[in-house]
Structures are given as C-alpha cells and as structure tokens.
C-alpha cells in the first residue's frame, strides 16, 4: 500500500522545519501526501514548506508555534480542523532544560515535559481517535536513546522520551488491531542543524546518522511497530534496557561527559 493511501491525504509534522522533520516532510510530499508543518523557527519553516511545494506540488500549511504553550492543541486545530489527517509525526527535541537539574530554572526543566509527554498525549488523543474510527493511519514518534536511562544533564529530557516510548508501545497494542500503525524510533545522534548548535562532540560509541536516512527508515518501519532501533544503535539500546539501573545511569553520564565540550548549562539538541 502506498504512503498516500495508507497515511494520506494529510500528514501533521510537529517539529518539521529542519533535519529529520524536513526530510520526513519532503519524502511524504514526494509520495503525494499534503503536509501541515508546525515548528518554532519561522525561517526554516518557510524554507522547508517552499521546498516541498516546489519539489512535489502538494498542499502545505504552516504554523509557527512553541508547542509548550497551554493552547498548543487549540492553535494546531486552527490549521487542521476539517482536514483528514492520516499521519501524526512528533519530532521534537528537549527544549531548554540542558544542564544540572537544580541549576536550571523551573521553566527550563519543564520545557521537555510540555513539548514531549504533554504535547504528544494531547495530539495522539485528538488525531488518533478519528484514525482508529476509520481503521487507517499512523503515529510516528522520533525518540532518543536517552529515554532508556536517566541521563546526566538531561534529566527531564530522558524522562520525557521514556514516557513517549512507553506511550507509543501502549498505543500500538490498542491501535494495531484497528488498522493504525504506531512507531517509536529512538535514535542516537543525527547530523542535524540543531546538533551543530548544541555544543556536543562525537563519541566513538555513538554513530552520527544522516537525517535523510533516519527519515527513510522511520517511514519504512512505521508499519512494523511498536519500537524500531537502527542496527548501529541496537546493541547499545539493548544494553541500556537490560543492565542494572545504576550502571545504565553511570554509562549515560560518562557518555554525555565525553560528548560535551564543556559541562556548562545550555540548550538541549532538537531533531
């Protein structure tokens, strides 16, 4: 079954202006799926939407929005009500809470919670219901390896990604018999613009994926949920999931310390 038939006629991509989101939107557009793009940065949002129109000729709607806002769902409904949204994509990073938990402002540490568990729960409930009723559609969450262990300097980010993954597993169990595909795709590092801005360096044990490859793998694996881990990250994912929790937390701490140029407060990378 084609992407358009399975997930069209509209896809909503939250976090769709750069990196993985950009490539997901362009690949779906090339398959004839109309796109609603939601992102914070107006420049990349306009550039990506124009690329999709030029390359594919599909209809594209955009919404500049910080999804940590209380009225997030209402704002998104303003551009999606009346559309047959067959695919929901949540491709959102960690927001501002990157650094020692107690040294960050409460607003910063709450950012990952609001943009991940709160946002994806609201979106999946709103858009998942009509998908389940018509027996067709998909929900895709781009996650993080950090969601498999409490991660140094990423306390609420790693906790938020863990919630997202468990939610996707539960929704897959509910939706799969009703014809709706659900997939969590926890990734490691990807060569996105946000990673370039994040102040991290490469670690030998964390391969850096191309965002176009992640996007293609996500679309290919969407019918085969609930969780997909790429081959280069599978061993690390399995180790984090199975080792004693103290060892997992220590492993993540050591990895993050090697990846940081300096252990200072900053902003978490986004996808």
Report yes or no: 36 and 61 within 8 Å, Cβ to Cβ: yes
Q: What are residue 89's phi and psi, to 5 degrees?
A: -120, 125
Q: What are residue 60's phi and psi, to 5 degrees?
A: -130, 130
Six token digits for residue 263: 């252990």
Residue 263 confidence (pLDDT): 42
Based on the number of CB atoms within 10 Å of its own CB, is 212 exposed (0-12), middle (13-18) or buried (19 or more)?
middle
Given the residues 7, 96, 152, 157, select the one marked as catalytic. Answer: 157
- Low-confidence stretches of the chain (pLDDT < 70) are 94-95, 190-206, 261-271
E strand residue ranges, 197-255: 208-209
Place of tokens 């990673």: 195
- pLDDT, one tens digit per residue, over 81-132 is 999 999 999 999 866 778 899 999 999 999 999 999 999 999 999 999 999 9
Given the residues 161, 163, 228, 236, select the one marked as catalytic. Answer: 161
Six token digits for residue 62: 């955009």
Residue 96 confidence (pLDDT): 74
Q: What is the pTM of this model?
A: 0.90
Residue 270 confidence (pLDDT): 43
The reply to whether 161 belongs to the active site is: yes
Report yes or no: 183 and 141 within 8 Å, Cβ to Cβ: yes
Residue 166 confidence (pLDDT): 98
Residue 206 confidence (pLDDT): 62
Helix-then-strand count for the chain, H and E: 11, 8
């Amino acid at each position: 079954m084609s992407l358009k038939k399975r997930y069209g006629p509209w896809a909503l991509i939250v976090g769709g202006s750069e990196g993985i989101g950009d490539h997901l939107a362009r690949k779906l557009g090339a398959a004839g799926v109309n796109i609603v793009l939601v992102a914070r940065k107006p420049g990349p949002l306009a550039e990506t939407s124009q690329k999709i129109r030029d390359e594919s000729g599909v209809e594209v709607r955009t919404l500049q929005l910080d999804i940590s806002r209380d009225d997030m769902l209402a704002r998104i409904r303003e551009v999606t009500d009346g559309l047959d949204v067959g695919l929901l994509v949540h491709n959102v990073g960690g927001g501002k809470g990157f650094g020692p938990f107690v040294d960050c402002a409460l607003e910063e540490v709450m950012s990952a919670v609001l943009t991940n568990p709160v946002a994806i729960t609201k979106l999946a409930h709103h858009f998942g219901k009509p998908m389940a009723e018509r027996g067709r559609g998909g929900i895709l969450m781009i996650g993080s390896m950090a969601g498999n262990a409490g991660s140094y300097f990423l306390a609420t980010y790693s906790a938020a990604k863990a919630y997202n993954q468990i939610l996707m597993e539960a929704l897959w169990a509910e939706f799969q018999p009703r014809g709706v595909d659900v997939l969590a795709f926890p990734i490691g590092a990807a060569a996105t613009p946000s990673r370039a801005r994040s102040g991290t360096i490469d670690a030998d044990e964390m391969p850096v994926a191309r965002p176009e490859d992640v996007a293609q793998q996500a679309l290919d694996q969407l019918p085969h949920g609930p969780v997909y881990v790429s081959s280069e990250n599978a061993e690390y994912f399995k180790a984090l999931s199975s080792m004693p929790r103290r060892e997992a937390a220590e492993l993540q701490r050591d990895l993050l310390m090697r990846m940081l140029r300096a252990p200072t407060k900053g902003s978490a990378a986004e996808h």
